[in-house]
Amino acid sequence: MTSMADGPMKIQMTSEVNFSTPSWFGEVVLISKHLHTQGILNKINEQVRFAQKRFGHYEVIAFFAVLFGYAISGKRTLEEFYERLQPFAAPFMAVFDRDQLPARSTLSRFLAALTEEPVEALRTLFLDDLLARLLTPDKQMGGLADRNGHTWMVFDIDGTREAARQRALPQTNDLSPAFHRLDEVCARGYRGRKRGEVVRTRTTVSQAHSYQWPGSFGNRGNGLYRTELRQSLAAITRYLTVHHLPPAQTLLRLDGQYGTGAGLADLAGFAFVTRGKEYSLLDHPLVQARLHLPPDQMQQRPESHLVRSLYDCPHIPVGPEGVPAAWS
């Protein structure tokens, strides 16, 4: 050890390695303590089961702890997360009542073999916990009041896409068939302005006033948007039932990917607002008749000279089942 002293300041140096605690470790401890207090970790041990070979003595809660910490850490890759976590592996796993950190290869095998049943069981467990506890003692739910004085409970259903880049791989007769590691979780789809060759879509359901998330679903490419929409509606229906809220006063704000007749047919009578993408509706006789009349409103933004004409077209049937919808 070397010591340097200059007045009241003393600096000590040593050759021993002493890692600093990760900045996100405290947040992991805080949230895991809350999960312990609410009994969530015990419920995961009891209700989320996945029996598979080659996992050693690890249980689902051990892999959940790793993914939980990875999400909080904000690291770009699991490799970076494991490198930062390794000096503190024992105390990290002790927070979740485990004594050993799963190796990266073991985690990879677990994720590759994971089926939909335990994922759905975990999703149901979190939804049950959300519905069992109110945000405020006086049951304040919030709401949106329209110009007629009617109060609406608003839910947002939105699909967010994340693009991934893939390098071009050589394909010759003397080489084995090429494949990418992301092929199982990503596929080609709409990327928008994001750079990449493949995408993955995550659909989230959020209560607009309390920011609660009744559901979250992910799939390759553009996702299974109709299946995810039905799952979202099922979660919203449970939310309304538990809180004794009428579906007739519920408003859904949908992403533009649901703006088709097939997607609107799955809404089961809910009021909704979405951006339509079936431009063939412009050729509908009712729409054409309305477009030949004066617009209902003219809009112009201060920063632009462009003037927009707004036409209200109520009760336009869309889709094969003729779902009535109001279009603007």
CATH number of the domain at 162, please: 3.30.420
Residues 318 and 307 in one domain: yes
C-beta separation of 217 from 225 below 8 A: no
Q: Which structural domain range is residue 253 located in?
A: 140-168+181-277
pLDDT at 91: 93
User: 247 φ, ψ to 5°?
Assistant: -60, -25
Residue 53 lies in a domain: yes
Same domain flag for 272 and 309? no
Contact indicator for 202, 158 with CB cutoff of 8 Å:
no
Give 180's Cβ-side CA count (13 Å radius). Answer: 16
| 3 state DSSP class of 142 | coil
Provide the 8-state DSSP code for 246. -
Looking at the structure, tell me whether residues 161 and 221 fall in a common domain: yes
- Return all residues near 32 (Cβ < 8 A) that are at least 6 apart: 41, 65, 68, 95, 96
Q: Are residues 206 and 217 in the same domain?
A: yes
Whether 7 is covered by a domain: the verdict is no
Q: Is 307 a domain residue?
A: yes
* Exposure b/e, 286-297, CB count within 10 A at least 16 = b: eeeebeeeeeee
Instruction: Please give the model's pTM, rounded to 2 decimal places.
Output: 0.77
Query: Around Cβ 84, how many Cβ atoms within 10 Å?
Result: 18
Residue 72: per-residue pLDDT: 93
pLDDT at 269: 78
DSSP 292-326: TSPPSEEEE-TT---EEEE--EEEEEETTTTEEEE
Q: Report residue 150: phi and psi, to 5°.
A: -85, 135
Say yes or no: 36 and 86 in one domain.
yes
* Number of domains composing the chain: 3
Residues of the chain with pLDDT under 70: 1-7, 52-56, 135-141, 318-328
pLDDT at residue 156, rounded to an integer: 92
Do residues 284 and 319 lie in contact, with contact meaning Cβ atoms separated by under 8 Å? no
Residues 273 and 300 in one domain: no
**Residue 243: what pLDDT?**
86
113 and 214 in a single domain? The answer is no
Does 158 lie in the same domain as 88? Answer: no
For the stretch 257-291, pLDDT in tens is 787 777 777 887 788 888 877 777 778 888 888 88
pLDDT tens per residue, range 61-98: 899 999 999 999 999 889 999 999 999 999 999 999 89
In a domain, 324, yes or no: yes
The angle subtended at Cα 185 by Cα 179 and Cα 190, nearest 5°, is 100
- Tell me whether residue 3 is in a domain: no
pLDDT at site 202: 87
Query: Domain for residue 191, yes or no?
Result: yes
What count of Cα atoms within 13 Å lies in the side-chain half-sphere of residue 170? 5
pLDDT at residue 319 in the model: 63
What is the structure's pLDDT at 317?
A: 73
Give the pLDDT confidence score for residue 7 in this predicted structure. 60
pLDDT at 136: 67
Asked if the structure places residue 16 within a domain, the reply is: no
Say yes or no: 99 and 146 in one domain: no
Cβ(238)–Cβ(247) below 8 Å: no
Final residue of a domain: which of 72, 104, 132? Answer: 132
How would you class 137 by CB atoms within 10 Å of its CB: exposed for 0-12, middle for 13-18, buried for 19 or more? exposed
What pLDDT score does 67 carry? Answer: 93
- 88 and 212, same domain (yes or no): no
Based on the fold, state whether residues 157 and 273 are members of the same structural domain. yes
Residue type, 234: A
